[in-house]
Amino acid sequence: MTKDLDPALAEARKMYFEECAEMLDDAALRLANLPKSLDQTDAEEINAIFRAVHSAKGGGGAWGLTDLASFAHTFEALLGMIRDGAVKITSEIADLLIEANDILATLLQNAAQNSETDVSEWTDIADALKAAAGTETPAKAKKPKQKSQPKSKPAAKKKPTVYQLAPIIDNSSAGDLKKSLLDAIGKSSELDIDGANVERVTTLGIQVLLSAADEVASKGGAIHLKNPSPLLKECLGDLGVADYFGK
């Protein structure tokens, strides 16, 4: 990854490893003190640990360190839930966080030396982090069974709702678009979005469309983009999400 980097960026990359190593050392100290004060864990302690892991994740993505970014992402998700009060710190969780922090530091150290960390060294802990966060691991993931539709009324026969996109989807209209898409989704599990009129769209506008697709998918439905204008097609292609919507 270091080849072809201009000197300032190569220096920034080096700085990332040094800075993150320090932040993770600091996080390790904070984590070591967590079990002793389970009930009065200072929010700033968790925030500081969260930021260390978050920074490692961001740089991991920037410098193409896929495993590191993936592990940090899983670690960050659990910390985020702890920070939001959705998951309580028990002594087991405190131990898991300490272990995860160690692994992240190892991933970082190895990446700094351009050496790989064996996947077996971190996948178990990644699975444990997901389990603690209440998200299932890919290996164990049992897709929640969609409540089976009564066979006499096949849902597929239902006519999808059609939503016509406005010519301009910019940041000021993205909020309204989100609301009206959510309304449309509320009425049907199948949503057709007609994109023929789109003349201008921002990344936030695209993001709103992607959130809508996720929302429909979570209900077992699907979103289909119909007649995308050349510009919309190009934007989706540029962002690498052209295949995100069902045909």
Partner 1 sequence: MASKDSIRVLIVDDMQAMRAVAKSLALSLGAETVFEAENGEIGLELYRKEKPDLVLLDIEMPVKDGISTLKSILAEDNNANIVMLTSVDNMAVVEDCIFSGARDYIRKDVSPDTMKARLEAEFDKIR
The residue ranges that bind partner 1 (CB under 8 A) are 5-6, 8-9, 11-13, 15-16, 18-20, 47-48, 50-51, 54-55, 57-62, 64, 69, 73, 76-77, 80, 171, 174-175, 178, 202-204, 207-208, 211
* Chain centre to alpha carbon of residue 221: 21
CB of 23 to partner 1, least distance (A): 8
Task: Please give the structure tokens belonging to residue 204.
Answer: 């936030």
CB of 80 to partner 1, least distance (A): 8
Closest distance of CB 207 from partner 1, Å:
6
CB neighbourhood size of 107 (10 A): 24
Shortest approach of partner 1 to residue 244 CB, angstroms?
14
* Closer residue to partner 1 in complex, CB, 50/71: 50
CB nearer partner 1, residue 76 or residue 190 = 76
Closer residue to partner 1 in complex, CB, 48/242: 48
Q: Cα–Cα distance between 73 and 54 in angstroms, integer?
A: 8
CB nearer to partner 1: pick between 204 and 241: 204
**How far is CA 161 from each of CA 135, 151, 219, rounded to the nearest angstrom?**
31, 22, 15
Q: How many CB atoms lie within 10 A of CB 72?
A: 29
Kindly tell me which of 55 and 161 has the beta carbon lying closer to partner 1: 55
Smallest distance, Å, CB 122 to partner 1? 19
Buried residues in 108-141 as b, exposed as e (16+ CB within 10 A):
bebbbeeeebeeeebbebbbbbbebbeeeeeeee
Q: Both tokens of residue 36?
A: 């002793």
Please tell me the distance from the alpha carbon of residue 137 to that of residue 130, in angstroms, as a whole number: 6
Residue number with CB closer to partner 1 (45 or 95)? 45
CB of 149 to partner 1, least distance (A): 30
Q: How far is CA 18 from CA 14, 105, 246, in A?
A: 6, 11, 44
